[in-house]
Amino acid sequence: MINSQKTNSFIGKDGFYWFIGVVEDRNDPLKLGRCRVRCVGWHTENKLGLQTKDLPWAETIVPLTFANMHTPREGDMVFGFFKDGQNGQEPVMVGVFPKIPLKSADSQKGFNDQRKEAQLKSAPVKPDEKATPYPRKLDEPTTSRLARNDAKYPSEIVKNKKANKANKVEPESYYKAQYPYNNVYESESGHALEFDDTKDAERVHIYHRSGSYTEWGPDGSRSERIQKDKYTVVAGDDAIYVQGDVQIYVDGNYNLNVTGDIKINGKTINLNQGTNGAARKGDLVQNDDTIGNQPIIGSSGTVFIGN
């Protein structure tokens, strides 16, 4: 039962005090996602009067549907409220305002990214950016370029994929996003995750800042690029079924090491680059004949060495 004598002495009954502010510090020593926020009308812009280190820590509300925390960045404009009402010492951040910044940060004033050079050296940065205070891109929305697909501000990810495409096997990107249907998470260092619902261009895209990616196109086709090495371990069996053709291009050596038997069943087997055994290029090797000391057995009974 509610105490009718004191219904105005706890949060929810004593008025709602909200704020708009700018994040100046997110290095929460408790690692709870808190930020120091300078609130408009509550805190002065003059850093001599109120330094960043003296701002109260603002808590973050995490949605019940998404338990992982996404902490706002320095320079982000946030909306929130004070748990302690007009005392203004227990701020809570509810959301971030996307914006179009028109000027660079001024660390001499409040309501700006306050990080110095030493802090920026250890901060994440995208391959196409420099480690400067936020905002790093002026006169454009802070929403992801992948989500906007703006011809004036093309995504570096889209440009890099096009520039590095391997023409032998790699298809053109399936990217044809239309705002507001592309749901994007893009990290500070340049990783990206897209769930694109654009009509007739539906995609799922996972991108690593190095250029490695996996992308599914609207018809279910999958394109993959690994920018450096690939390692796959299968602790059990592995089965592959391909209804169409298979092409493999190798610029270096191809080493196949098998501790058991190798069985190759083919209508015709052509070895077009010669051998290192008794048979020579152009020879016709019959069933149960050998190349070197190893028998060659095809389902048709013949193996062609060369064309």
pLDDT of residue 3: 52
Has residue 90 got a pLDDT over 90? yes
pLDDT at 302 over 70: no
Q: What is the pLDDT of residues 120-143, one digit of tens each?
A: 999 999 999 999 999 999 999 999
**What would the mean pLDDT of 146-167 be, rounded to a whole number?**
95
Q: How far is CA 131 from the centre of its chain?
A: 19
Q: Which domains does the chain have, with CATH numbers?
A: 4-121 (2.40.50.260), 145-225 (3.10.450.190), 269-305 (no CATH)
Instruction: Quote the pLDDT of residue 190.
Output: 96
Helix (H, G, I), strand (E, B) or coil at 13: coil
* pLDDT average, residue stretch 52-56: 96
Distance CA 46, CA 53 (A): 13
Q: Classify 168 as helix, strand or coil.
A: coil
| pLDDT digit string, tens, across residues 157-206 | 999 999 999 988 999 999 999 999 999 999 999 999 999 999 999 999 99
Burial class (CB in 10 A: 0-12, 13-18, 19+), 145: buried
What is the reported pTM? 0.82
- Within 10 Å of residue 75's Cβ, how many Cβ atoms? 22
Per-residue confidence (pLDDT) for residue 245, from 0 to 100? 94
Q: CB neighbours (10 Å) of residue 298? A: 17
At residue 293, the pLDDT reads 44
